[in-house]
A = this chain, B = another copy of it.
């Protein structure tokens, strides 16, 4: 009997789960909500693009959640012994880089900088670097188009170098004080394994490949000359990043005596190389070639893997195609939507239709579920937080079309859900257009777990069965799978996933008549999507409202 720990750092909290490596049973779970800022995020009321986090919250989360999960596991099974834990896996949000000094200490944890938001972790959804993202894109297009070819053709404001360059430009004192910048996913394993210099931090392939243009084909990270053209200091930073990155079947190191004591674990157990939450969520959902795993939460991450034996073309608009970023022997392909649950939350929390006690998710879902596809005459674009795939443009915004004097809140709520499903379908289609066949869709995350209407709409709109991952905490489970591989409980990912992962009995199959209506609506969504999202899109848009009304009448007849 052996167990592993999965540590899953989300946007607002960190979760620990202790898993039985033989069958995936989750013995104990604990959650720690970050204390700093608003729901764990340091905001700036004058700039909505700002989103930072306090690394001290990350550290406190390790202790609180591992202790909590062990306590719960002991309650669940009196024979449970935390010394039987054979490894730790870690996943985090990303790209969430933080500046560290030459000891590897985050600047945010030094007295001199702790009040400065720029010294903190730059959370994935910080978009302050959008101008720098454009600049990086433009330079790469001109000088190294290959850098962009593997990350969808456009470098995002959410990514590593955009954030660092923005800091360099707008808060040079912080940039200068930093020895280097480390992804959250790399920093936690480094801490647990006692890495004593930033040069020794083992950076993960996942973050480097998807967010920092790392590829062995051109010697790892972008070369110093390229970075120098953006800013000479950025060029100098290049040497602190090293030339090697690691997949999750590797260990970052071994748990130090000090941490082992603090956490009541066995010293020396391996800590797996970190990865992004979505990537390990995909592992926890049993990802394999042909399976699309959708992690649906405030935003959505879509992951696909393809055997390295496959000849894969570059796929425009897909955020990343990276060797070994999900499973060790596969290409990992990442796509996603910048806001999904966040759009529904916006409507409920900001608009509060009918008042906050009336316009709840539960109440709106109940009413929206009674509507037929097309009935409201509404169509929305899911761009309230930009479009990550396939337009790769954080500056796009939302759109709602088709309102009359009778439009009701539940109709808008449903239109927003449908918009995210149309966005999901656009991504699936893009994969398949470039030869990556999707034969199965497995969903995980809070929305997949909790909202059957959303899942049914996704099935009806995509025309595909929506399966749901068995575990309610797939990212943490994926980290525990990684821990099981580095901890020796399983020899490889195939056997580890077979033993530890699974699918729920309940799945959502497309209803043909709904799918037929949604096919028409999708054509209009795509028309709006292209007209408003593609640069230099041809064509006119005058048919959209009429077609919508025809569909509406048909639905009502």
Task: List the interface of chain A (C-beta within 8 A of B).
Answer: 46, 48, 339, 342-343, 345-346, 350-359, 377, 384-385, 395-409, 412, 531-542, 544-546, 548-549, 556
Contacts and interface: CB of A to CB of B under 8 A. Distances in A.
A191 B539 CA distance: 55
Contacts of A405: 48, 339, 342-343, 345-346, 350, 384-385
B398 A401 contact: yes
The 5 closest A-B pairs by CB, nearest first: A355-B355, A398-B403, A537-B540, A397-B402, A399-B401
Nearest to A540: B537
Given A352-B353, A396-B545, A398-B407, 8 more contacts: A48-B405, A346-B407, A352-B358, A352-B359, A384-B407, A397-B401, A531-B531, A537-B541
A351 B351 contact: yes
Contacts of A409: 350-352
A413 to B, nearest CB: 11
Contact of A395 (B356, B359, B546): B546
Most B Cβ at <10 Å: residue of A353, A357, A546: A353
Contact of A385 (B46, B400, B404): B404
A401 B402 CA distance: 12
Most B Cβ at <10 Å: residue of A403, A407, A546, A548: A403
A396 B532 CA distance: 19
Given A395-B546, A541-B541, A352 B354 contact: yes
B377 A404 contact: no
Contact of A540 (B351, B356, B403, B539): B539
Given A403-B397, A404-B397, A542 B532 contact: yes
Contacts of A542: 531-537
Contacts of A346: 403-407
Contact of A403 (B345, B355, B400, B408): B400
Contacts of A355: 352, 354-358
A548 B398 CA distance: 12
A403 B397 CA distance: 6
Contacts of A533: 542
Nearest to A355: B355
A512 B409 CA distance: 37
A548 to B, nearest CB: 7
A396 B549 CA distance: 9
A359 to B, nearest CB: 8
Contacts of A385: 404-405
A550 to B, nearest CB: 10
A359 B343 CA distance: 20
A423 to B, nearest CB: 15
A544 B397 CA distance: 10
Contact of A532 (B352, B384, B403, B545): B545
A398 B406 CA distance: 11
Contacts of A406: 48, 346, 350
A342 B542 CA distance: 24
A472 B395 CA distance: 46
A531 B345 CA distance: 31
A345 B407 CA distance: 12
Contacts of A356: 354-355
Given A405-B339, A409-B350, A531-B542, A548 B400 contact: no
A513 to B, nearest CB: 21
